[in-house]
């Protein structure tokens, strides 16, 4: 496919009013400097970041289309690439804020010139409605905010039309970081209320398919499974006006097609490149390739510990010794990942850190015999096809190795659009998954993934009251030595009980034409169009 055919097809998908420039690009011309064409493996399954069972790309919609009260600063990594800086906070919709001496009251002064996309002024009433909504809708959005001690609408107050207050019961270091997240967005409450019903008081049905924000870009078009088109909102006041006027983000499931489109110039950027292509493109030098270790994250093999056979800790340990870690690193990630196995150093207070397990089939067989679970073990093994480029080879390698241990698996492929919902059912006995904690704290990861109080992403159903106690203590501990002891304590329990087997820490791989500047890594792993620019010549 050449540029002209690609751009013409994109124009046919959208309306000429949305992307009129697509009609007039000559056959061998690059996309205009004010437009970015981006391809990715998966796309958003809705437009509401507070929606139920949203796919991860919806959080990219949140950052481009909605504002938050505050944001993080940016900094350069040693390789010169840009990343967000979780240690600094900057204004977004709130032009300033104060925190009470006891750390329990946060007061935000809103920009008086802020407008939603329909021209409606943004007020503290909109902020109040949005925060009431996020702590009331349940699921991940409410759980996320609860990690920062925000759980009830009564904690949020409209002081005046441009002043908003949050009160928490005790000082919590995760409160401010939570306000930067993709679920802490501000909706146009007047639009949302107009589409609310008695059965749907938070207008979830409407906001799933219609954005009601005031961020740097508007949704010009969205077709689930195909593409989303962003158009710049020139009335945005919460940051520097973006250089791009529009962004066309297309969903292209096949990795080979994504790479070919970039090399031919049919797209400006590939977001979420697979490790093989990233390695080869970086070596070739014709494109910019940025690989960023995804902090506070891991790929892992998860086991449902609430039912046989994986309620048996010796069986779980046997599987941890049967995983072909090195083969996964070589064949699936091409070495562009950080190993989370084979630890030789004592446990420390960092996360993620390697577990001491390594491939040892003799030890795996001994533990399997000790478990008493041998014989005719046969289990379904699930993975997400929305991340199939990396999931599939990893799943095949694990299945082959478990087969040598005497455990037969049947691979079940789940579409990316419903993967989150399937995870939250907590019904899969054995599954391959990746989880990245938005806030870069060990206790935050464990709060969601290991805590026994029915935490959302504790998809293993794991419960350990002693671990819960340490996680809860670390969240409020101010003494560095005690905090380190708490973290080392719950990491050791995760190693011993191994309800999930860490595999590797993935890199977020992004490749782009050399004309593209400003790409910034974010903890939510989604594309932020706001700082991106393109030069007409390189």
Distant-in-sequence, close-in-space partners of 295: CB < 8 Å, separation ≥ 6: 436, 440, 523
Alpha-carbon span 322 to 229, nearest angstrom = 45
Q: Which of 335, 339, 328 is nearest to 282 (CA)?
A: 335
pLDDT of residue 20: 37
d(CA 383, CA 380): 10
| Res 266: pLDDT | 94
Q: What is the reported pTM?
A: 0.82
Q: For residue range 451-486, list pLDDT tens digits in order.
A: 998 787 899 999 999 999 999 999 888 899 999 999
The phi and psi torsions of 465 (rounded to 5 degrees) equal -55, -35
Mean pLDDT of the chain: 92
Three-class SS of residue 503? strand
Contact 289, 521 (CB under 8 A): no
The three-state DSSP-derived secondary structure of 448-502 is HHCCCCCCCCCCCCCCCHHHHHHHHHHHHCCCHHHHHHHHHHHHHHHHHHCCEEE
Question: Is the distance from CB of 21 to CB of 32 less than 8 angstroms?
Answer: yes
- CA distance linking residue 228 with residue 221, whole number of Å: 6
**pLDDT tens profile 310-364:** 999 999 999 999 999 999 999 999 999 999 999 999 999 999 999 999 999 999 9
Structural domains of the chain, with CATH = 3-268+513-534 (3.40.190.10), 297-505 (3.10.105.10)
Q: How confident is the model at residue 136 (pLDDT cuts 50, 70, 90)?
A: very high
Taking the C-alpha atoms of residue 40 and residue 56, their distance in angstroms, rounded to an integer, is 12
User: Mind listing the pLDDT tens digit for each residue in 227-282?
Assistant: 999 999 999 999 999 999 999 999 998 889 999 999 999 999 999 888 999 999 99
- Look at residue 397 and tell me whether its pLDDT is greater than 90: yes
The DSSP symbol for 97 reads: E
Which pLDDT belongs to residue 33?
Answer: 79
Q: Which pLDDT score is estimated for 25?
A: 35
Taking every pair of C-alpha atoms in the chain, what is the biggest distance, in angstroms? 70
Q: 39: buried, middle or exposed (CB in 10 Å: 19+, 13-18, 0-12)?
A: buried
pLDDT at 537 over 60: no
Residue 462 CA to residue 455 CA, distance in Å, equals 10
- Say what the pLDDT of residue 131 is: 98
For residues 399 and 391, the answer to whether their CB atoms sit within 8 Å is no
DSSP secondary structure letters along 307-323:
STTTT-HHHHHHHHHHS
Does 387 score more than 90 pLDDT? no
Q: Grade residue 289 by pLDDT with cuts at 50, 70 and 90.
A: very high
pLDDT at 31: 65
How far CA 231 is from CA of 55, 69, 290, 316, in Å, comes to 22, 22, 26, 49
pLDDT computed for residue 536 by the predictor? 64
The 10s digit of each residue's pLDDT in 8-54 is 444 333 333 333 333 333 333 456 779 999 999 889 999 999 998 88
3-state secondary structure of 383: strand
pLDDT digits (tens, 9 = 90+) for 487-505: 999 999 999 999 999 999 9
Q: What are phi and psi of 384, to 5 degrees?
A: -95, 115
Main-chain dihedrals φ then ψ at residue 444, nearest 5 degrees: -65, -45
Cα–Cα distance measured from residue 176 to residue 69, given in angstroms and rounded to the nearest whole number: 10
Give the integer Cα–Cα distance in Å for 525 and 58.
Answer: 11
> How far is the CA of 524 from the CAs of 89, 95, 479, 528, in angstroms?
16, 23, 29, 10
CA dist., res. 30 & res. 378, Å (int): 53
Query: Nearest Cα to 144, choosing from 455, 494, 512?
Result: 455
Q: How many CB atoms lie within 10 A of CB 53?
A: 17
Task: Say whether pLDDT at 442 is over 80.
Answer: yes
> What is the DSSP secondary-structure string of 248-287?
EEEE---HHHHHHHHHHTS-SEEES--HHHHHHHHHH-SS
On the question of pLDDT at 7 being above 70, the answer is: no
H and E: helices and strands count for the chain = 17, 21
SS3 breakdown of the chain: % helix, strand, coil, rounded to 5?
35, 25, 45
Query: For residue 454, what pLDDT is reported?
Result: 75
């Amino acid at each position: 496919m050449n540029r002209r055919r690609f751009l013409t097809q994109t124009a046919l998908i959208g309306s000429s009013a949305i992307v009129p420039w697509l009609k007039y690009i000559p056959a061998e011309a690059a996309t205009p400097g004010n437009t970015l064409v981006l391809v990715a493996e998966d796309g958003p399954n809705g437009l509401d970041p507070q929606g139920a069972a949203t796919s991860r790309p919806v959080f990219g919609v949140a950052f481009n289309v909605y504002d938050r009260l505050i944001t993080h600063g940016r900094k350069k990594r040693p390789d010169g690439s840009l990343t967000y800086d979780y240690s600094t906070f900057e204004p977004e919709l709130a032009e300033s804020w104060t925190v009470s001496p006891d750390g329990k009251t946060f007061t935000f002064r809103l920009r008086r010139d802020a407008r939603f996309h329909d021209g409606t002024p943004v007020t503290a009433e909109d902020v109040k409605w949005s925060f009431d909504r996020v702590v009331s809708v349940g699921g991940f959005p409410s759980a996320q905010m609860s990690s920062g001690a925000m759980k009830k609408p009564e904690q949020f107050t409209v002081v005046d039309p441009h002043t908003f207050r949050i009160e928490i019961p005790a000082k919590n270091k995760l409160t401010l970081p939570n306000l930067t997240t993709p679920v802490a967005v501000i909706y146009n409450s007047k639009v949302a209320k107009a589409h609310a019903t008695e059965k749907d008081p938070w207008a979830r049905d409407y906001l799933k398919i219609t954005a009601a924000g005031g961020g740097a870009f508007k949704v010009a078009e969205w077709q689930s499974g195909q593409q989303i088109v962003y158009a710049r909102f020139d009335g945005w006041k919460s940051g520097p006006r973006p250089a791009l006027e529009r962004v066309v983000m297309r969903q292209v499931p096949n990795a080979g097609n994504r790479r070919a489109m970039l090399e031919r110039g049919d797209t400006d950027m590939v977001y979420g490149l697979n490790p093989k292509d990233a390695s080869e493109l970086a070596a070739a030098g014709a494109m910019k390739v940025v690989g960023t270790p995804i902090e506070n994250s891991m790929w892992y093999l998860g086991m449902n510990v609430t039912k046989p056979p994986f309620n048996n800790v010796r069986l779980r340990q046997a599987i941890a010794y049967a995983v072909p870690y090195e083969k996964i690193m070589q064949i699936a990630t091409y070495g562009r990942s950080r190993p989370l196995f084979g630890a030789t150093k004592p446990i420390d207070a960092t996360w993620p850190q390697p577990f001491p397990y390594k491939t040892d089939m003799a030890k795996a067989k001994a533990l399997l015999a000790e478990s008493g679970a041998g014989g005719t073990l046969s289990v379904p093994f699930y993975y997400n096809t929305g991340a199939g480029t990396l999931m599939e080879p990893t799943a095949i390698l694990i299945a082959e190795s478990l087969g040598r241990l005497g455990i037969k698996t049947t691979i079940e492929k789940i579409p990316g659009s419903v993967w989150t919902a399937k995870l939250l059912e907590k019904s899969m006995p054995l599954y391959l998954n990746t989880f990245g904690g938005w806030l870069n704290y060990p206790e935050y990861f464990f709060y969601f993934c290991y805590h026994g109080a029915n935490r959302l992403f504790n998809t293993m159903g794991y419960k350990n009251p002693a671990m819960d106690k340490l996680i809860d203590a670390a969240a409020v501990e101010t003494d560095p030595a005690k905090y380190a002891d708490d973290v080392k304590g719950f990491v050791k329990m995760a190693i011993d009980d191994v309800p999930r087997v860490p595999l590797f820490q993935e890199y977020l791989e992004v490749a782009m034409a050399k004309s593209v500047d400003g790409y910034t890594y974010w903890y939510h792993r989604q594309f932020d169009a706001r700082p991106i620019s393109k030069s007409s010549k390189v």
